[in-house]
Structure 1
Amino acid sequence: MIGKLKGTLDEIAEDHVVVDVHGVGYVAFCGARTLASLGGVGEAVVLFIETYVREDMIRLYGFASENERGWFRLLQNVQGVGAKVALAVLGTLSTGDLANAVALQDKAMVARAPGVGPKVAARIVAELRDKAPAMSGAADAESFALKRGLGDGVAPGPIADAVSALVNLGYPRDQAASAVAVAVKEAGDDAASTVLIRLALKALSR
């Protein structure tokens, strides 16, 4: 099994790249975001690989990070999500955006990915609700928990009010929730909504 490729970009196509590793060209299928993050032909590249072996083919999927590859695997645990849909989701949303969408139960954000309808998007945010925290990393655990509280409708009043106020000011809900999460870390769980709003706006202005 191939877990990582380190070599030179030999070709960049619409949905894949060819990586030259000591004279052997490996075709790796990648999402749009991964493709956009790569350099040009002839430049060095490192891709984390998920290898699929079937009777009639061997296919490699390439990712810019181990975390992205982990989300690719996790997404396919959802009913109706195969490699193509998982790659489309990761090609549209960063892993951070996807974690936010799951925490906030924001199926509309996931449905932005091509080929992902409302029903599949709803299953993704629902079925990954309890699995996503492990993918977010320990540093983001508190932020994820806050956002999940918002998604479940059980967040403390001041936090929910602060997010609502920022949304009313025109900020996207996921961005507002992230800013309030920063404010809570600074001011504490028992801070008033006015304090959280002020600190969140400060965070958004950075």
Structure 2
Amino acid sequence: MIAYLKGVLASTSVEHAVIEVNGVGYLVGASSRTLAALGPVGEAVHVHTELLVGEDFQRLVGFSGADERDWFRLLTSVQGVGARVALAILSALEPAELSRAVAAQDKAMVARANGVGPKLAERIVRELKDKAGGIVLGASAAAQAIPVGAGADAVSAMLNLGFRPAEATAAVAAAEEDLGPGATLDALVRLALRKAAK
């Protein structure tokens, strides 16, 4: 699993970017919001990633933040929502807006995304109201306290270990509170795992 890429932005297009890491160019699909946040070609970039694997393809998708990646995972868990539709939704709505739309069951807001009709929008808000749980009801606020750096990477590590987004965010936030802002990724993950086990 590739949790993130740190490298140099080699090029961008409407739907993807190429990020060069140690001489290898990674083609990374992304929402328009993430592509806009990457900055100019030639600059250093850091993107969270999700590797999609099918019978006849492998595709890397990139996100400007862990919260956007968490929403991508939730969206693609809904029947009828593939990577392309999920990225269209994340292009139209920021994670905080998506949280509000799901919490309020506002299908019209979700239907603003390209390729999302009223029936699919209704299914998304209905199914994600239960699945999103902690993200909708408060993990977003906790995630904002850990926007970048070791904290975000620690949340990513916890998610890759199978923790739910709300559990991972809360455990890492508690660990960072104990260890302080200069904590290393290793220390944060170790303490977060202990806190999550309690």
Q: Which runs of 5+ in 2 are unaligned?
A: 143-198
2:10 partner SS: strand
Determine the structure 2 residue equivalent to 1:128: 128
Determine the structure 2 residue equivalent to 1:70: 70
The separation in 1 between residues aligned to 2:140 and 2:94, in whole angstroms, is 17
2:123 partner SS: helix
Determine the structure 2 residue equivalent to 1:119: 119
2:133 partner SS: helix
Displacement of 1:91 in angstroms is 0.9
1:1-206 → structure 2 map (5 Å cutoff): 1-136=1-136, 137-138=138-139, 140=141
The separation in 2 between residues aligned to 1:138 and 1:38, in whole angstroms, is 25
Determine the structure 2 residue equivalent to 1:157: none
Q: Which runs of 5+ in 1 are unaligned?
A: 142-206
RMSD, matched Cα = 1.5
Determine the structure 1 residue equivalent to 2:195: none
- Relative to the length of structure 2, the TM-score reads 0.68
- Judged with a 3 Å threshold, the aligned counterparts in structure 2 of structure 1 residues 140 and 3 are, in CA distance, closer, same or farther, namely closer
The separation in 1 between residues aligned to 2:35 and 2:140, in whole angstroms, is 27
Aligned letter for 1:101? A
The separation in 2 between residues aligned to 1:140 and 1:53, in whole angstroms, is 31
Displacement of 1:138 in angstroms is 4.1
- Any conservation in 1 of the 2:96–2:140 contact (CA below 8 Å)? no
Q: After superposition, what is the alpha-carbon deviation per residue over 1:4-34, rounded to whole angstroms, capped at 9, x for unaligned?
A: 1000000011100000001100000001111
The separation in 2 between residues aligned to 1:90 and 1:139, in whole angstroms, is 15
1:14 partner SS: coil
Displacement of 1:62 in angstroms is 0.3
2:5 partner SS: strand
Aligned letter for 1:14? V
- Any conservation in 1 of the 2:11–2:19 contact (CA below 8 Å)? yes
Displacement of 1:67 in angstroms is 1.1
- Relative to the length of structure 1, the TM-score reads 0.65
Displacement of 1:77 in angstroms is 1.5
Aligned letter for 1:107? K
- Judged with a 3 Å threshold, the aligned counterparts in structure 2 of structure 1 residues 103 and 78 are, in CA distance, closer, same or farther, namely same
- Judged with a 3 Å threshold, the aligned counterparts in structure 2 of structure 1 residues 139 and 47 are, in CA distance, closer, same or farther, namely closer
Displacement of 1:130 in angstroms is 1.8
Aligned letter for 1:9? L
